[in-house]
Structure 1
């Protein structure tokens, strides 16, 4: 993905997540989605969109496109795995089969996967559930 398409992926993910009442209810936050590190003291629970990646892919027939990735980190005060996995399940429901609108690109397919979980002993303690979302796209509408 070009830089603008990667940015477009971040914007499309944020808008899609913020438009879902079920995920918003689970997060129960004033600002449920942050692009980059949230400000200190941001109220948990929330999702952080961070660490975009991009690469080119080619078909055997010479046609190609781009692969873009976004890391979503679900931060909750629930130190068990329960809430993070509930939110992950809702993200799967929301994004499976969804075609995101990407500026200058057409989404071909997307894939969501659970990467890892860990705890942070900060104040307050929190659990992170890290999810990867990969999108294949082709240039143009």
Structure 2
């Protein structure tokens, strides 16, 4: 693959992650919407849920900004993809599996998230390893 295409793939990875993180981060600012979006209709918007989501939302939105920052110099900052996979996405996936096995979220509601997360892991790892031999 040509260097130009490898850089484009890095940028696609950064932007894909940023868009998904941005959507999730914004949804976390609205706990009622977030609960419905995640199939947790049984949860009322309690102060505890609001607090937990509002703690996580700035972190998710901050990661969105980190991915957009990395996109500005994709070769120099390609390692951001690795730290996005390990631990961020993999821990989120483990949390989703915990929610599934705890019967907090149904199989039908968690599978789309796990599929998206798995595709992001594959995209990010492929993009990183594909570009690792290009020097800044």
Give the shorter-chain TM-score range: 0.3 to 0.5
Larger Rg: 2
Higher percent of residues as helix: 2
| TM-score between both structures, scaled by the size of structure 1 | 0.32
Higher percent of residues as strand: 1
* More relative contact order, 1 or 2 (CA 8 Å, 6+ apart): 2
| TM-score between both structures, scaled by the size of structure 2 | 0.33
